[in-house]
Amino acid sequence: MSLSLDSRHCGRVFVIKCVGRIVTGEEITILEACINRGLLESTRIVVQAGEVTRVDSTGMGLLVRFLSHTRNRGGDLRLAAPPPFLSNLLRLTKLTTIFRIYDSEEEAIVSFLKEPAVSNTGSAPAGPLVLFVDQSPDLCAFVRTLLQHHGYEVLSTCRMHDAKTLLSAAKVDYIVLGPDSSSLPADSVAASLKSLAPKASTVLLQNGFKLGDPEQAGLELLRLMQQRPVD
């Protein structure tokens, strides 16, 4: 197997960095599984192809199939940083007319963030926008689900760089930092992010949040946020 993947959620966007070959065999199998995993929570996919060394017809077919699949669900699959051979291949096959292609991963992510989220017809208006940051994807999933059920709109990420990207593209009402948001001191991280969203209220969660009873932890988070109403 000569394909390695590094995947993550950046807000509502699922990012997959590919290194190696996207070709028939185990490589296709693991990429398909990774995309399907991302589709459980998002229809907005970015494939970062900067270190891809080869794509065969089956690999290209996989990308086209998921492009169609995401668009049918109101999303998209976008390519970032394709190497010269892949850019040439896309041009020769005229696939540049259907794929949206960006020079960098960050540009592809931001292109999604600047578009409104897909919502169900008749759904309630979105509430205050929250950015949650913690290195644990499980804690991100817990907080995201909890707050969404209480009327908040939530972006979450495990990486500080992505947090700054999200803040550059969205007007956030709350910045909530988990107990493991960064290896740096929480106060300095909060100050760094606050500089990008000066009007946002900041909530710092202590280590006990991830270790305590989920119901009590959730109630405490809601209490802290209610103490900091947004304008």
Is 156 found in the same domain as 91? Answer: no
d(CA 58, CA 66): 12
pLDDT at 187 over 60: yes
Is 141 found in the same domain as 96? Answer: no
Counting the structural domains of the chain, the total is 2
Count the Cβ atoms, other than its own, within 10 Å of residue 66. 21
d(CA 231, CA 226): 12
Is 212 found in the same domain as 147? Answer: yes
> 56-113 pLDDT, tens per residue?
999 999 999 999 999 999 999 999 999 999 999 999 999 999 999 999 999 999 999 8
Is 144 found in the same domain as 80? Answer: no
Is 134 found in the same domain as 93? Answer: no
Higher per-residue pLDDT: 218 or 121: 218
Mean pLDDT throughout 181-194? Answer: 85
Tell me whether strands 153-157 and 201-204 are parallel, antiparallel or unpaired: unpaired
Structural Rg of the chain based on CA atoms: 19
Token match 């007319």: residue? 97
pLDDT at position 120: 46
Phi, then psi, of 132 in degrees rounded to 5: -110, 130
- pTM beyond 0.85: the answer is yes
| Three-state secondary-structure class, residue 43 | coil
Is 109 found in the same domain as 10? Answer: yes
- Output the domain CATH number for residue 64: 3.30.750.24
User: Does a structural domain hold residue 71?
Assistant: yes
Q: What is the amino acid identity at position 122?
A: G
Is 200 found in the same domain as 154? Answer: yes
**Greatest CA separation for the chain:** 58
Is 150 found in the same domain as 109? Answer: no
pLDDT at 168 over 70: yes
> 107-162 pLDDT, tens per residue?
999 999 888 765 544 445 568 999 999 999 999 999 999 999 999 999 999 999 99
By residue range, what is the domain housing residue 217? 129-226
